[in-house]
Structure 1
Amino acid sequence: MKQLGNWLDFNVKQFLEGKVVLLPAPEDIPENYVKDGYRYRIKGFILHDPNNDELNSNEPLTIKFKNKPVIPKNQVQFKAGQFELANPTGVVYGDYRNQLSLKADGFLNKSESK
C-alpha cells in the first residue's frame, strides 16, 4: 500500500511539551532546497526532554517557515511554555521512521496562544 504515512497524525504541541529547546536566529534556505515556499529555517537543539531525556537530549530540531520568523532578541533558549508555533505540522519519515519534519507559520505571542 502507498501513502500510508499520510494517515499518521503527529501532534507537534504534544511533542514539544515540556522540552527545553535552543532556537538560534533563522537562516535562509538555499534556493535549490526550497520546497512549497518554505524559505527559512531554524536549526536548533533539544536541550532537555523530561519525557525521554536519554534519547532526545542534544538532538537537532529544525523548523521550516514560509515567512521569516521573529524571535525575541537576546533569547535563544526557551523552556516549556515560553513559545508556541503558529499552525505547526509535523511529519515522521524515513526508512526507520526516525526523521522529523516540522513546519509552522511562525511563532505565537503568549497573549495570542491563550
Structure 2
Amino acid sequence: MALKGLRDFVKFDAREFLAGKQLLLMQESEWKDFNSGKVIGAKLKATIWTDDTKYKKDETSNEGSELDIKIPGLMAEEVNRNNRGFIRLKNPTGVVYGDYQNDLSLKADGFDYIKEKGGEN
C-alpha cells in the first residue's frame, strides 16, 4: 500500500543548493495565477553559470542548467532588460517534485545584481 502525505516531510534547502552557484539572469516574464489569470509576480529564467556546490557524487554538476524563479509582487517590466548579469536571490525557497524527484520549483522574495567574481548565491 502506498503511503500518502510523505512529501509534507521532505525538506529542500534552497540556500544550500544555491551555495557555490553563479546565476546568470536570462529572461523575465509575467507570473500569472493559474485559476484567475491575474498577474501575481514575475518569473525569472536564470542559467547556472558555474556550479562549485559539493554533491555526494563528485561528477555531479548542474552547470549550464536553467532555473525558473518565481518572485511574488515583482512586475516583469520593473526588471531592467539592459542590465543582464549575475543575480543573488533573496530568501530563496524550493520544492522538489516530479516522478523522479528531479524538478525544482524556486521562489524568492527578490534578487540583487552582483559582480561576476565572488558572486555565489
TM-score, structure 2 length as denominator? 0.67
CA deviations over 1:75-112 (Å, ceiling 9, x no partner): 4224xxxx2423x22100000000000012213699xx
The structure with the greater share of residues assigned to strand is 2
In percent, how many aligned pairs have the same letter? 34
Q: 2:15 aligns with which of 3, 7, 13?
A: 13
Partner of 2:119: none
* Largest Rg, 1 or 2: 2
SS at match of 1:24: strand
Structure 1 vs Structure 2 CA RMSD = 3.1
SS of 2:52's partner is coil
- Which of residues 78, 86, 90 in structure 2 aligns to 1:85? 90
Paired residue for 1:56, among 59, 62, 79? 62
Larger helix fraction of residues = 1
Q: How does 1:29-48 map to 2 (within 5 A)?
A: 29-30=31-32, 32=34, 38-48=40-50
Q: Does 1:98 align with 2:107?
A: no
Runs of 4+ in 1 over 4 A off after TM superposition: 30-35, 69-73
Structure 1 gap ranges (5+):
none
